[in-house]
Amino acid sequence: MTDPDFLVTIRPAVPEDAEDVSNVNVVTWLATYPNDELGITAELLRQHLEGAAGERTAGRIARIRRALEESAAGGSPSADFVAVRAGRIVGYTHPRIMGQERHRVGALYVLPAFHGRGIGHLLLERNLAWHGDGQDVYLNVATYNERARRFYERHGFALTGAEGHDEVATIGNVRIPEIEMLRRGRS
């Protein structure tokens, strides 16, 4: 739950946030997605995200910067919001509308050191507000990410039984298994 002594601001992301957003993404992926049974090692994830010697990092940041520029200019069916604590970006979310007008949570990540402080809740509230109360909103979550599944269930999402299909969920030749969750719009 939200800690009143732990001040966090949720604001629209700007292109200058690209490096910090990339860092949040890398740190959270390395903490969340390794799964030895599936052959998804931390090293495989690191190479996927950064390259063997970090050569993918600059390109990743540039792609995030371009996406933030498009989002800020209203040139894409998405938005980006960051959680800022003491001048540091500690989380972000990326609501978007997919083909066929499907409203999607998209990315929602909080640095592990800041879990349990209500930041995910604040980011999800902002994400859902962007979509509007009347919209059904879905997301994909790794089947083995029990913490995230419980978090989304507490916020009104339910498993649909459908398999999730994210292009970013393929790491090398291994696919992170995902399942879809849905929150019905409120009228």
pLDDT at residue number 1: 47
How confident is the model at residue 5, as a pLDDT?
59
Distance CA 101, CA 81 (A): 21
The answer to whether the CB of 95 falls within 8 A of the CB of 78 is: yes
Q: Which CATH superfamily is domain 9-183 in?
A: Gcn5-related N-acetyltransferase (GNAT) (3.40.630.30)
The 10 Å Cβ neighbour count of residue 66 is 12
- Name the DSSP letter for residue 8: -
| CA-closest candidate to residue 110, choices 16, 3, 21 | 21
C-beta neighbour count of 86 within 10 angstroms: 8
Q: How many CA atoms lie within 13 A of 67 on its CB side?
A: 21
What whole-number distance in Å separates Cα of residue 94 and Cα of residue 79? 6
**Which letter does DSSP use for residue 76 in this model?**
S
Rounded-to-integer distance, Cα 179 and Cα 111, Å: 22
* Conformation bin of residue 181: beta by default, left when phi > 0, alpha when psi is -120 to 50: beta
Per-residue pLDDT of the chain (187 residues; tens, 9 = 90+): 445 557 999 999 999 999 999 999 999 999 999 999 999 999 999 998 999 898 999 999 999 999 999 888 887 788 999 999 999 999 999 999 987 789 999 999 999 999 999 999 999 999 999 999 899 999 999 999 999 999 999 999 999 988 887 767 788 788 899 999 999 998 6
pLDDT in tens, 96-145: 998 778 999 999 999 999 999 999 999 999 999 999 989 999 999 999 99
Q: Which tokens hold the place of 79?
A: 């938005």
Cα 165 to Cα 148: distance, rounded to the nearest angstrom: 17
